[in-house]
Amino acid sequence: MNLKHTFTLLFFLVLSISSFAQDYKENIRNRFTQYTKHLLDQDFDKSMDYLPEAIFTIVPRTQMVEIFEQVFNNKAVEMKMISFDIKEITNTRKIDSCYYVGIKYTSVISMKYISDTTSSSDSKANRISMTKAALANTFGSDNVKVDEVTETYTISPTKKSWAISKNGQDGWKFVNVDPNQRVLMEKILPKQLIDESINN
């Protein structure tokens, strides 16, 4: 094979690899968009189709739906999911029989506590200060904003998730990285991915 043919073959292979990478990453982006649209629409039952089946061996699907509905139909707190924005999709990794791709994304959620409107201005200011501090402790102070007039909190943390597929091409399902849910993650993710996600 002469030099010209060698470079032509190499160029073709590079283009093929690039196209392959774009295909699975675009599929992940589309699947994640579909998944989060169901969350935004509060169609929680449909959103469960995008979670790994292993999750439901810990928390049954119907119970997961009920938990979401209770949180977002709480009469004491008005909660709304505003948006989800993918910041990064890593390259695929095969571990054992599954393929894994890391996702970094920002979610925006608004929370409005239905509080006593007859309380004094000092009481209201103290309540806002304590609530903001509690949210900042969980999500980071830079990720929490408050409209003190309406007592509406906007939370916009950057989160990590893993997309999982059996063939590395489609059917991607998602699991969030949450150090407080390690038992659940251990049912779904290889230990090395859990350790890597939490420590980095």
In the chain, the percentage of residues whose pLDDT exceeds 90 is 52
Residue 146, pLDDT > 90, answer: yes
Residue 4, pLDDT > 60, answer: no
pLDDT tens by residue, 11-45:
444 444 444 445 889 999 999 999 999 999 999 99
Residue 88, both tokens? 């990064």
Angle at 82 between CA 74 and CA 163, to 5 degrees: 100
Q: What is the DSSP string of 82-95?
A: EEEEEEEE---EEE
> How many C-beta neighbours within 10 Å does residue 107 have?
18
> How many C-beta neighbours within 10 Å does residue 20 have?
13
pLDDT tens by residue, 158-199:
999 999 999 998 899 999 988 888 888 888 999 999 988 887
> How many C-beta neighbours within 10 Å does residue 105 have?
20
At 184 the pLDDT is 82
Q: What is the CATH number of domain 27-199?
A: 3.10.450.100
